Structures are given as structure tokens and as C-alpha cells.
Structure 1
């Protein structure tokens, strides 16, 4: 499982100009079962996405495809973790520590 932290690198006006494309990108990845939760940070200087993917390389590739990244308005910090305990609704994503 991964936590993706977005940090804006441009003024909010530039971020908002790309927001519709970013939301369409999010929607596609939710439909594919990659993204589990997402939202903006407070204060609004970026966002957070909880996601699943085969491996870190694949997750980094997905993040690089974000319209925000392609437009140069944000950077990603990708953190991988082993979800050994979850809420019942996320039980399918539980992993065992090795």
C-alpha cells in the first residue's frame, strides 16, 4: 500500500487551471481500483492519496502521469507501507509483515 503526498510547487491559480484534468485522472484510477482515498491537505498546499499497486516502480509511474506533475504544479512523495491492520472495509488490502 502507498501514501502519496502531493506538494504544490506553483500558485493555486496554476493548480486550479489543471484541476479538472487531475480530477479526471483520479476518477480513472479509482475505477481501476488503484486509489482508495484522496483529498486536499489543510492548509491547501497539496493533497494525499492512499493507493495500491504492484510495486513502488509502478506507483511512481502512476504518479508521474498526474496532470499536475505534467503541468509542473506539484511534486510527489511516495511512501510505501505494509498495512498489517485495517478497518474491515479494507481487509482485502491487509498484508503480513515479512
Structure 2
């Protein structure tokens, strides 16, 4: 699939989604995932809700959340240690 760079302050618009859906149909696909590090315009998001094809839109914030959730391209910056009392320590018996 083609790639296009969008500035973070400029969302992906409806015509880009229409081109993507056209490519899906042309390849005989009934579903696809469109990922951007930017965001999607309201018309673009509304457009996918009315399609017979299933198109998932993943914007930059969602992509970052997924990367953190699945440990992709991230590193641990701080670990938290949680301690609890060992009640057996105090048991004389």
C-alpha cells in the first residue's frame, strides 16, 4: 500500500481514505487498516462508518498506546517495586 507523510497538525482527510478504499476494492479486499502518526479529519472518520468494507483507522495517539501496550519500540524508564508484609516472618511457629 502507498505511504504519505502528514504533519502532526494536519489530519488525514476523506479523499485519502477514499483512495485507500479504492485500492482495497481493486485488490478484492473487504477490510483494511489505515495507520497514521497524525490524526483523521471528522469527514474521514464519518466516511468509514458508512462503508460496506471494514476499515479501521489508527491515529498517532492510538498507535502510541498500542505500542506501549504490546512493548513495541518502547523501553522501561522506571520500575515500581511494591512490598507487602510477610506474615509468616512474624509467625513463631
Q: Give TM-score, length-normalised by structure 2.
A: 0.25
The structure whose Rg is larger is 2
Greater length-normalized contact order (CA 8 Å, ≥ 6 residues apart):
1
Q: TM-score, normalised by structure 1?
A: 0.25
